[in-house]
Amino acid sequence: MKTLKEISSWVGTFGIAIVLSLIIGVFVIQPYRVDGHSMDPTLQDQERIYVSKISHTLSKLPEYGDIVVIDSRVNRDRYLTDDLLEHPLLQLFMDNNTNDNKVFYVKRVLGKPGDVLEFKEHKTYRNGVALDEPYLNETMNFVSDRQWTVPEGHIFVMGDNRNHSSDSREIGYIPLDHVMGIKKFP
């Protein structure tokens, strides 16, 4: 009887720990791994970062220059079940590891709703003003006659390694619910 009670206590404690881990990972803070060189020199390939999920939980708009983790599958809706199934703890028990499918990108916020972005003279312009981007380590080779106007409920993101980044220029505007979190920790 005493052994059964002790086992029950351990199972209960373990269950509470799992539930708390899920709540914290889905709504508060979650680790991600940088995959690739699109954020060089700011972040390195395979670097581990932690993002605040508060903005995702409360649907808050990130600030200019924030480094964010995005779900690059912008043509599909996201649901709470996605957040749960993508939690690292649950990924341990799943066959298709979403984090290995390269759907999460780490990028920098350059445009908010209503902003007009242009790429001319090898620089990024927001609302007609060239951005000061000291985090870039080389001149951007991308120029375009097109203007990108960020729609309501979306942001425009780019990697710091502009010449080697798959970002909003390619995948499009990022819906706010696809912003998984903001890098707040090393």
User: What is the widest separation between alpha-carbon atoms in the chain?
Assistant: 78
Asked about 107 being catalytic, the answer comes back as yes
60 is known as an active-site residue: no
* Given 53, 55, 72, 107, the catalytic residue: 107
CB contact at 8 A, 116 and 149: yes
Question: Which residue out of 38, 55, 165, 168 is catalytically annotated?
Answer: 38
- Amino acid making up residue 64: Y
- Reference 34, options 49, 19, 20, 15; nearest CA is 49
Amino acid at 44: Q
Which positions are annotated as active-site residues? 38, 107
